[in-house]
């Protein structure tokens, strides 16, 4: 296939492009400014009317990180970079002749869709949760589903906490632990739906290739863990202590509204990927962290 990737130069996008090429697909990367072809990737400009000609599939990873202090201005940017970008893609598909449109859109979302659910097991059939992140994800997904009326198969990747070398989350955690400042987030009882970047990329590609996959798909490891377990495994893999928990008030002080969401619990399972036969490249936390330490 010829696959267009919005966010191709980002952490997940790079991993996807590599796997797609290794599996014989042609990759078209999209950027806000024109780039010269490199590493076998043709680049196109992503603007209000991006050129989607010739694509069999589109994978969209666009979205400014929410892992920062939230302000009203930032929330506008969160919406624009997620819902707004998705609307541009769908509107452009609408302008194309029906027989020239891509066959599938794999659009990102996040496990924030489910809201804080404590110990409840969650799969793709679980309901929308409460709160700002859930509402943002709902609008994001609704924008993507508009493509179904245009004859495009839509798969929504609800992405968990992505780990992998070079990723912002991993580098921040590793730095904290190496400085001796690692520990649980508050009590550590909350569930963490982690996933390796290779499996986000791999699941995205699998969704492109597998016609029976449509609708919501949880891009998470089949073995979620509590924050306390994640912390201990990470500490052992880095040979560092983990005895300085971050209290709730400190997280709220440091990150504001986002700080409270750091303690949300998401016991999410990848039911659709397991049903459809996807083979996880990094299903085990201990082995995944050990390779990156």
Asked if residues 160 and 194 have their Cβ atoms less than 8 Å apart, the reply is: yes
CB-CB contact of 13 with 61 (8 Å): yes
Q: What confidence score (pLDDT) does residue 252 get?
A: 84
Q: What pLDDT is attached to residue 238?
A: 86
- Measured between alpha carbons, how far is 49 from 132 in angstroms, rounded to an integer? 29
What pLDDT was estimated at residue 154? Answer: 98
The pTM (predicted TM-score) of the whole model is: 0.95
Looking at residue 183, its pLDDT comes to 84
Q: What is the pLDDT of residue 266?
A: 97
Q: Do the beta carbons of residue 159 and residue 13 sit within 8 Å?
A: no
The pLDDT of residue 270: 98
User: What was the pLDDT predicted at 174?
Assistant: 78
Residue 31 burial (10 A CB sphere; 0-12, 13-18, 19+): middle
Residue 249's Cβ-side half-sphere holds a number of Cα atoms within 13 Å equal to 0
Q: What is the pLDDT of residues 158-188, one digit of tens each?
A: 999 999 988 877 787 877 777 776 888 889 9
Residue 181: per-residue pLDDT: 67
- Please name the residues in contact with 188: beta carbons below 8 A apart, sequence gap of 6 or more: 226, 227, 228, 231, 245
CA 132, 6, 224, 227 torsion-angle sign = negative
Nearest 5°: the CA angle 221, 105, 51 is: 135
b/e code 178-208 from CB counts within 10 Å (16+ = b) = eeeebbbbbebebbbbbbbbbbbbbbbbbbb
Strand partners for 157: 108, 217
- The residue range of the domain holding 174 is 2-292
Q: Is 169 helix (H, G, I), strand (E, B) or coil?
A: helix
Helix intervals (H) in 98-196: 132-145, 168-178
Q: What are the tens digits of pLDDT across the range 78-112?
A: 999 999 999 999 999 999 999 999 999 999 999 99
Ranges of the chain whose pLDDT falls below 50: none
Give me the number of domains the chain comprises.
Answer: 1
Domain containing residue 274: CATH number: 3.40.50.720
Nearest to 79 by CA among 138, 140, 132, 31: 140
Token digits of residue 207: 């969704």
E strands present in 17-128: 26-31, 42-45, 57-60, 104-110, 121-122
């Amino acid at each position: 296939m010829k696959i267009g990737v919005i966010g191709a130069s980002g952490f997940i996008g790079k991993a996807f492009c590599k796997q797609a090429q290794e599996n014989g697909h042609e990759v078209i990367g999209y950027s806000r400014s024109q780039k010269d072809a490199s590493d076998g990737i043709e680049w196109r400009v992503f603007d209000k009317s991006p050129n989607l000609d010739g694509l069999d599939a589109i994978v969209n990873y666009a979205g400014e990180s929410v892992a920062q202090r939230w302000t009203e201005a930032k929330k506008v940017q969160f919406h624009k970079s997620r819902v707004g970008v998705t609307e541009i893609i769908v509107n452009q598909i609408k302008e194309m002749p029906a027989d020239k449109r891509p066959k599938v859109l794999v659009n990102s979302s996040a496990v924030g869709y489910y809201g804080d659910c404590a110990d409840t097991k969650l799969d793709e059939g679980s309901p929308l949760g409460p709160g700002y992140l859930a509402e943002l994800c709902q609008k994001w997904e609704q924008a993507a589903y508009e493509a179904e009326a245009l004859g495009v198969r839509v798969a929504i990747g609800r992405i968990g906490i992505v780990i992998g070398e070079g990723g912002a989350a991993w580098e921040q955690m590793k730095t904290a632990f190496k400085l001796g400042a690692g520990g649980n987030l508050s009590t550590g009882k909350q569930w963490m739906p982690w996933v390796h970047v290779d499996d986000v990329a791999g699941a995205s590609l699998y969704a492109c290739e597998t016609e029976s996959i449509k609708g919501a798909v949880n891009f998470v490891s089949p073995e979620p863990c509590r924050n306390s377990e994640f912390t201990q495994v990470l500490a052992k893999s880095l040979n560092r202590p983990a005895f300085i928990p971050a209290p709730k008030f400190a997280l709220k002080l440091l990150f504001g509204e986002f700080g409270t969401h750091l303690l949300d619990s998401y016991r999410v399972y990848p039911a659709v990927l397991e049903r459809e036969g996807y083979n996880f490249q990094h299903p085990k936390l201990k082995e995944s962290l050990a390779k990156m330490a």
